[in-house]
Amino acid sequence: MALVILSLLFYGGLFLYQSNLKKNLENIKNEIINLTNSRNPATEKIIVDVDKRVSLLKDLFTNHFYWSDLFKKVEELAIPEVYFSKAKFSISLGKVEASLEGNTNTYTDLARQIVSFQEEPLVEKVQVSGISLAEEKGVKFTLSVIFSKNILLRKIND
Amino acid sequence: MIKNLINIVLILAFVAVIVFLDVPGVQNVLNLRKDIASQKEIFIQAQTLGDKLEKLTKSYEENKDSVEKSNYILPSDEEVATLTVQFEALAFEQGLVLEKIEFTTLKQEITIREGESQPPPPNYQILNVTTKLAGTYPALKNFLRAVEENIRLMDVDSINFSVSSEETPEIFDFDLSLNTYYQ
């Protein structure tokens, strides 16, 4: 008899505990609904779009070219005795290709010019062609210089 | 005899209460506790997400001006008319003569990844601008600096220049090709 009463009492306790748990579960579910309802999907979409745009801009700025840095470097490397009258710069296969047509007074100056480019760490290759005496005075030539693409890039802060 | 019968009935009643009430009750309680635990986890995740979103929204509101500026850096359209005006102004400010300007939309190469039937849409489009300018070498350098710092992002792709004529060795003809972007 006592066992039956005890098991019934146990069930009563379980029933009360179950009701309490159900109420708790309902409360948590309501709070989740409230939290979800308090969100603003329109603003969230804007934020997601802005985030994507920022990532894209960061990528574009990381690969943004600063050609003025290249010209500054070429000026540093050009010796005073050389005059460049024609130049072509282009980007190909991740390198900057430069073709410089110029004049100088002597072959020695031309050699100094070649060495000046060759000693620059950002220069990967130097070739010279079309070396001949100019009609008026001095020596004319075409220098083909391959620069690392890094010459156009600057480090940006996060 | 009656006592034995009562005992059997009580034992059966005890077993019935255990089997039909207590065991399912315990099972229900265990299931509810499990549900509460999972819902609490969802609640914590929703709360964390809500906090993050609140911070992001605040940050967005505080930086709305910068966000607006990004529309100038990467506009939603080619905006060829604005670009034409910008190039004319940039050339004029640096003392260069803008002799020619052409715009070409470049198609981006997009690779289809494994398992994808269609390629993803490109994040941005490229508009190629080719210009012909005339002026001095220092003016070109200033023009390049201005292009580098221009609010609309532009990347020079190639530069060709040569002396305009032997009578005026300080004046050059410049051919510039550059890429600008839009979404």
Establish if B151 touches chain A: CB-CB under 8 angstroms.
no
End-of-domain residue from the set A29, A47, A62: A62
pLDDT of residue A114: 96
In a domain, A123, yes or no: yes
Angstroms from A15 CA to nearest CA on chain B: 7
Q: Is B32 helix (H, G, I), strand (E, B) or coil?
A: helix
Same domain, yes or no, for B100 and B54?
Answer: no
**CA-based radius of gyration for chain A:** 38
Average pLDDT of the residues in B13-37: 88
Task: Calculate the CA dihedral of residues B22, B23, B29, B33 and round it to 10 degrees.
Answer: 150
Closest-CA residue of B relative to A60 is B153
In a domain, B124, yes or no: yes
Asked if B74's CB is within 8 angstroms of A21's CB, the reply is: no
* pLDDT > 70? residue B173: yes
* pLDDT > 70? residue A16: yes
ipTM at complex level: 0.78
Q: Which of residues 75-134 of B touch A (CB under 8 A)?
A: 123-124
Average pLDDT of the residues in B19-40: 90
pLDDT of residue A158: 47
Same domain, yes or no, for B80 and B128?
Answer: yes
Q: What is the pLDDT of residues A62-93, one digit of tens each?
A: 999 999 999 999 999 999 999 999 999 999 98
Report the alpha-carbon distance of residue B160 to residue A3 in Å, rounded.
102
The average confidence (pLDDT) of chain A is 91
Give me the DSSP letters along B141-153. HHHHHHHHH-SS-
For residue A38, which residues of chain B lie inside 8 Å, CB to CB? 50
Quote the domain boundaries for residue A47. 2-62
pLDDT of residue B21: 82
| Candidate from B22, B26, B74 with C-beta closest to A57 | B74
**Which tokens go with B45?**
């995740």
Q: What is the pLDDT of residues A109-151, one digit of tens each?
A: 999 999 999 999 999 999 999 999 988 889 999 999 999 999 9
* pLDDT > 70? residue B34: yes
**Which tokens go with B31?**
């299931």
* pLDDT > 80? residue B53: yes
Asked if B43's CB is within 8 angstroms of A32's CB, the reply is: yes
Same domain, yes or no, for A17 and A72?
Answer: no
Vertex B74: Cα angle to A68 and B96 (nearest 5):
40
Report the alpha-carbon distance of residue B5 to residue B8 in Å, rounded.
5
Residue A91 sits in a domain whose CATH number is 3.30.1360.100
Same domain, yes or no, for A93 and A127?
Answer: yes
In total, how many domains does chain A have?
A: 2
The average confidence (pLDDT) of chain B is 89
Establish if B156 touches chain A: CB-CB under 8 angstroms.
yes
Angstroms from B114 CA to nearest CA on chain A: 23
In a domain, A157, yes or no: no
Q: Which residue has the higher pLDDT, A3 or B140?
A: B140
Same domain, yes or no, for B86 and B158?
Answer: yes
* pLDDT > 80? residue B50: yes
In a domain, A127, yes or no: yes
| Candidate from B43, B57, B162 with C-beta closest to A28 | B43
Share of residues in chain B with pLDDT > 70 (%)? 93
Asked if B158's CB is within 8 angstroms of A89's CB, the reply is: yes
End-of-domain residue from the set A29, A62, A95: A62
Question: Residue B110's pLDDT band (boundaries 50, 70, 90)?
Answer: low
Same domain, yes or no, for B107 and B156?
Answer: yes
Establish if B170 touches chain A: CB-CB under 8 angstroms.
no
Closest-CA residue of A relative to B181 is A60
pLDDT of residue B109: 65
Q: What is the pLDDT of residues B123-167, one digit of tens each?
A: 899 999 999 999 999 999 999 999 999 999 999 999 999 998 888
Same domain, yes or no, for A72 and A21?
Answer: no
Q: What is the pLDDT of residues B68-101, one digit of tens each?
A: 888 899 999 999 999 999 999 999 999 999 999 9
Establish if B165 touches chain A: CB-CB under 8 angstroms.
no
Same domain, yes or no, for B81 and B169?
Answer: yes
pLDDT of residue B114: 65
Angstroms from B92 CA to nearest CA on chain A: 18
Quote the domain boundaries for residue B162. 74-182
